[in-house]
Amino acid sequence: MMRVSAPFVAMWLAVTSGGPVLAIDFVRQCQPTSDRYAIDQEVLFHKSDPNRREIPYETLQETVLTEKRGYCLAKGRRHEFQARTYRQRIRFTDDGKTVELAVLCEMAAGGLPAHLTCEKEVVTHETKAPESKVDTPGAAGGPQWTQDGSVMRLEAHGSSRRFVYAIPRPALLASGIKPGDTVFEGRREGGKYRGTAYIFTETCGRVGYPVAGDVASDERSVTVTGQVPVHGAGCRITEYRQERLVFDLIDH
């Protein structure tokens, strides 16, 4: 569950098997692709401006990259969630010059209380944008991929393979993940990938786990799965959960 970032808090009803419950987890975060600017509460400003003076802008285009809806089962109840990652192209005037840049945004909402763990995630709707060129920096000299709303870069040397973040989705940036951080490293053996995937946790840091999977027949996606360790107090492993990572090519 994502943390609530006020004032992007909204009340909505999540239907559960035991009747409607009130949920308040809603967050929307946007990250410009230029390091000079930031967006907070839909207000664009210079990162270097301590007063955060607003720079008016207009949205020229908005493209949905991924959208997912479904519910989590926990303690016999259904707790609905939805998530959407989208890219905007905006235009504004800065110091007398017209500027256009891309912005990567993420919206997520969920009704799972913080003290519960999602025992099973059921996805009822999932869409991805058709293949298209991403006009954002981070993958100079090579193709770009997406994974769960983030823009990735694939580094290939001989049979070795490594997926790294080119542009992490906003929620990951807020949690401390940086461009260049590794998500997967391993080898390609024919049509198979084998290696180590990584998750990033607040309390236990970077955690690796073994994964393996297949390259699609058209070479435009890679899917790997593995058992992610779940940590309790003192970062002791209490259980494992199945994790599936899908990397989709979006630039060629």
pLDDT band at 50 (very low <50, low <70, confident <90, very high): very high
Reported as a single tens digit per residue, the pLDDT across 53-106 is: 999 999 998 888 888 888 888 888 888 888 888 888 899 999 999 999 888 888
Query: Residue 32: its pLDDT value, please?
Result: 84
pLDDT: which is higher, 134 or 217: 217
Centre a 10 Å sphere on the Cβ of residue 162 and count the other Cβ atoms it contains: 16
Q: What is the mean pLDDT of the chain?
A: 80
Under CATH, what is the fold of the domain 131-252?
Answer: Lipocalin (2.40.128)
Query: Residue 21: its pLDDT value, please?
Result: 38
Query: Residue 178: its pLDDT value, please?
Result: 83
**In the chain, where are the structural domains located?**
1-129, 131-252
Whether the pTM exceeds 0.85: the reply is: no
Give me the percent of the chain exceeding a pLDDT of 90: 35
Query: Residue 130: its pLDDT value, please?
Result: 57
pLDDT score of 196 more than 90: yes
